[in-house]
Chains A and B, each alone.
Chain A
Amino acid sequence: MGEAAAANLLRTPLHGQHVALGARMTPFGGWDMPLSYEGQLAEHDAVRGRVGMFDVSHMGQVRLRGERAAAFLDQLTPGKIGRLSEDGRSVYTQLCADDGGMLDDLIISRLGPAEFFAVVNASTREGDVRWMRAAAERLGYHDVSIGDESAHWAMIAVQGPAAFDVLSVVLPGRANWAATPSFTVHPFVYRGQAHLLSRTGYTGEVGGELLCPAELADHWWERFLAAGVAPCGLAARDSLRLEAGYCLYGNDCDPSVSPVEAGLSWSVDWAKPVEFLGRARLHREKAEGAARLLAGLRTGGRRPLRHGEDVLDAAGAPVGVVTSGGYSPGLQAGIALASVAPANAVPGMELGVKTRGGVVPAQVVRPPFVATSLSKK
């Protein structure tokens, strides 16, 4: 990449740290992000075996305030907003268009009875905020304020079986992070500034995501480095999330895909009485079956599977397409998430993937592809 092109990319508050560490940088959703430092496989192993950290400051943060904010979120998303019955709880859900297609996936946390905090994907942030504001307008929630705070926040994900040891040493106040439940959020104040430690992540490992003001990003990054946390780039982040079976917005799901099709039915509140956006399609797909489903595929060889490769049934007929493909360092095998006809999304079924080297046999498996500190809990 030439310098002129790189100059147009956005930089996180930690950009200087990445350059100083000699990271290979890559454009990602309009941002100049670290692809890897030491090497993808070493970083992958660091997170599975001990603890690594990722700069995820490119992600967006949106604060929703108002007495009726919870009711608005219940109508805005298919998710289990009812679970946010106490401060500090978080839920994973989606933003759906009226037709049920996914505009984004996000994590919403309750900071107070009338205050919620959403973390959204980087490339969809601006559209998400416009969508939320338009939805509040047309659904009659004029009293709910929607503030885009993305420029204020930096975000560092600390992930791995030793993540709690590091968080307990580095972060002030709380000694025992291992005792906090997954999908909770913990506000604290440092140097007079509001911080959040969110007990979430996207690697399949335990850990947290630290939200801090941009000007303190260097401070925390350096503290984590000093505590022995391995800096990890987007390449390892992708192989970790794929092994964990997590879908990636823009690859496995997009505005044409519903949460049911993306295998996210578990996150939908099927019992809630409100007319949430996209409800008709989701309930129809739940009752009648979806046209396609996301399935895990595992091969017996090392060749990485690739986004866009055709999935074939035993007779060689096309039945779907790889949406996220890769190489699993844990299995030393090619793995994928693929969008396939529901009749083919049955664990144990033998399918094939048409790679550049010919058709490779692949078995349908239920992710996660490997056992992780989170899946073993």
Chain B
Amino acid sequence: MANESSYLYTESHEWVEAAGDARRVGITDHAQQLMGDIVFADLPAVGRVVKKGEEILSIESPKAAASVYAPLSGEVVEVNGDLAGAPDTINKSPYADGWLVKIRPSAADAESATLKSATAYKEFVGE
């Protein structure tokens, strides 16, 4: 059961959840609704080192391609391999089974402070 009210959020519609010493990253329900039916996720290689704000992957629906940006700097330690055969999981379960990558953050405390709370994100998207 996803507990997205405890997640942190970016203005580019990613969410971040603490998962041990790593952070799980996905896109928000708002973002998946804007995309429509997601048919492809271009997942990054495990081991890739990313900077906060850098494009880490793209998600595509028949009508649109959207970039997903790293909400935190760090190393990609795991990707959601189930998405290769079932990218629509992102539509069906954006906050749980539709997660995208896990990042082991290099500066979690400093950077997390720049992310939004669930309440602040909801206000941001006008929900």
Contact = CB atoms under 8 A, between A and B. Distances in A.
Interface string A234-250: 01001100000000000
Interface stretch (A36-44, A138-146, A190-198, A366-374): A36-44
Interface in A249-303: 301-303
Interface stretch (B17-25, B36-44, B106-114, B119-127): B36-44
B36 A36 contact: yes
The 5 closest A-B pairs by CB, nearest first: A302-B40, A41-B37, A327-B39, A327-B62, A303-B40
18 contacts: A24-B36, A35-B63, A39-B37, A40-B63, A41-B37, A41-B88, A235-B63, A238-B62, A302-B39, A302-B87, A303-B40, A303-B42, A304-B62, A327-B39, A327-B62, A329-B39, A356-B65, A357-B58
Given A235-B63, A357-B58, A304 B39 contact: yes
Nearest to B63: A235
Contacts of A327: 39-40, 60, 62
Interface in B40-88: 40, 42, 58, 60-63, 65, 87-88
Interface residues of A, number: 20
Contact of A356 (B39, B58, B61, B63): B58
Contact of B62 (A24, A235, A301, A356): A235
Question: For the complex, would chain B's binding face be called helix, strand, loop or mixed by DSSP majority?
Answer: loop
Interface of B: 36-37, 39-40, 42, 58, 60-63, 65, 87-88
Given A356-B65, A357-B42, A304 B36 contact: no
A357 B87 CA distance: 16
Contacts of A39: 36-37
A326 B40 contact: no
Interface string A36-59: 100111000000000000000000
A306 interface: yes
A306 B64 CA distance: 9
Contacts of A357: 42, 58
A235 B40 CA distance: 17
